[in-house]
Amino acid sequence: AAAATAERERAKMERISSIVEDGEMSKRQKRTKKSIWHFTVTVKRRALLAWLQALDDAHRMRRAARKLTAKGHLKTQSLAFETWLEFWRVAKEEKIRRRVEELERRAAAAEEEEARAAEAAAAAREKSVGVAARIAAAEERETEARKKIGGEYGSATSFREKSKAFRRNDVKRDAPK
């Protein structure tokens, strides 16, 4: 009786799980169809907009070309056009001259900055040489002091030497303190 009840429960659970899986599958399929539809509509809309924009651009370019040719005919026929060209040539030369002056000024400033940096580097080198000499002298005084004192581990000065001496039993482990 217990086995039959368990079998019925298992069959019921399988039916429920298959129904839930089918529902999830249909939701996924609907979502996929919807996204495909959305993508195709978007592609069609973008293609139409691109086509309209191309037509608009072509029309705008034709109008601009007509305007420019009309302006060109008027300008080339007048003496004012030649003076206008001369004015823009002089203005361009002035702009180039100002740009050259600015670049020369920047180059001079950069050279000054480079010279200052070289002086600072030389001063730093001199200072580091002095500091290194003081450190070497202090280390030498320290080693001399350690040699005079001896210490608990003999003449060992570094941690490595102390630990080697300890392992060799040069120092007694049970020495009274």
Which pLDDT score is estimated for 110?
94
Phi, psi of 168 (to 5 degrees): -75, -5
Question: Helix 79-149 crosses helix 2-76 at what angle (to 10 degrees)?
Answer: 130
| End-to-end Cα distance, the chain | 84
Running DSSP on this structure, what letter comes out for residue 29?
Answer: H
Confidence category of residue 15, pLDDT binned at 50, 70, 90: confident
List the one residue out of 85, 107, 87 whose CA is nearest residue 95. Answer: 87
> How far is the C-alpha of 17 from the C-alpha of 21, rounded, in Å?
6
Bigger pLDDT: 167 or 154? 167
C-alpha to C-alpha distance for 16 and 14, rounded to whole angstroms = 5
- pLDDT for res 4: 86
HSE, side-chain direction, 13 A CA sphere, residue 37? 6
Is the entire prediction scored with pTM above 0.85? no
**Residue holding tokens 């001496």?**
165
Average the pLDDT over 11-21 and give the result: 85
Half-sphere CA count of 157, side-chain side, radius 13 A: 11
What are the extents of the domains in the chain? 1-77
Q: Dump pLDDT digits (tens) for 41-52.
A: 999 999 999 999
Q: Which amino acid is at 172?
A: K
* pLDDT over threshold 60, residue 170: no
Quote the CA–CA distance of 171 and 177 in Å, as a whole number. 13
